[in-house]
Amino acid sequence: MKYITEQLHIKYPIIQGGMGNISNAPLTAAVSEAGGLGTIGSGTMSPDEVEHIILETKKRTNKPFALNIAITVTPYIKELVELVIKHQIPVVSLSAGNPAPVIPVLHDHGVKVIAVVASVKHAQKAEAAGADILVAEGFEAAGINSNLELTTFTLIPQIAQSVGIPVLAAGGIGDGKGLAAALMLGASGVQIGTRLIATKEAPFHHTYKQNLVHASDTDTVIVGRSVGRVRRMLKTPYAHKLRNIEEQGMTLEQYNEMTSEKQHVTGAIAGDLENGFINSGQVAGLISGIPSVKELLDSMMEEASRQINRVAMDFITLK
């Protein structure tokens, strides 16, 4: 855990997941200011749009933040890497594709590279390619997921014992107990996404936040399995419509059209859940309030410490 904070120059071993085309400067800066590593998710945004968020984030914080590049999603990999170098962004996370071709140029400019993986094989390949840190993301996570569908609880210990670089756990984590559990499984820290949506600084629609606060443990749904795509979203009228069409037979082209970033923005930013979707991980069932980002991260660290100490004392009494 200490190694991660020193390597990334952050206070807490907590990083923000890339949130694609709904990424923004206020939330990214708030995470970094609170002691974590804020992350801008480039999604399919143009380089000009991403640069605007980078500049706005720099106005809000002088602490480190990262840029997430979804390799098979964006057509602008070269341009985004150039932005990283131009603006001296210290950390890049690479997801949704093979990170190997991108890592050398980032390392040449002193950039730390985080690779998001979903299996032991992918983790070992990313380490061999030069990744500095791994994010092992379980099937509980929001948004686009691996079709391997491995859960966080099984994935983390297998990857942690199979590589020699730090591993961060992602998927189903949103409080101090989740952080403590991840550390016990062999992770050096965590990546969180859904929990950060329901914070004061996150400039998403009130409807999105309230749906997360009121969600139960069974209020997320998977779409896209039938066409070889896996996405976890919150149960909404649009998600219900999407599932009905998929059950009747859906082509990959139809799926891509109905889950484009246009519908994502419609749901998350405009709050229109009839015509747009909102991503959510299974952790939604644990969300009961809308704290500030600082309150959230501080409480996660405090709760994790209490939980670890309590379990350690209980365990000692059993010996």
Report how far residue 241's alpha carbon sits from residue 245's, in angstroms, rounded to the nearest whole number.
6
pLDDT value at residue 149:
85
Tell me the HSE value of 8 on the side-chain side, using a 13 A CA sphere.
Answer: 32
pLDDT value at residue 97:
86
Report how far residue 14's alpha carbon sits from residue 16's, in angstroms, rounded to the nearest whole number.
7
pLDDT of 219 above 60: yes
pLDDT value at residue 309:
85
> For residue 169, what are the β-bridge partners?
136, 190
pLDDT class for 2, splitting at 50, 70, 90?
A: low
28-32, 36-40, 112-116, 252-256, range with the lowest pLDDT: 252-256
pLDDT of 313 above 80: no
Give tens-digit pLDDT for 39-60: 999 888 899 999 999 999 999 9
**Average pLDDT for residues 237-246, to the nearest whole number?**
93
pLDDT value at residue 145:
81
pLDDT value at residue 142:
87
**Rounded to two decimals, what is the model's pTM?**
0.92
pLDDT value at residue 319:
62
Give tens-digit pLDDT for 104-114: 999 999 999 99
Complete domains list, the chain, with CATH: 2-203 (3.20.20.70)
* pLDDT-above-90 percentage for the chain: 75
Helix (H, G, I), strand (E, B) or coil at 179: helix
pLDDT value at residue 106:
97
Contact (CB, 8 A) for 226 and 315: no
Contact (CB, 8 A) for 272 and 311: no
Helix (H, G, I), strand (E, B) or coil at 304: helix
Give tens-digit pLDDT for 269-302: 898 999 999 999 999 999 999 999 999 999 999 9
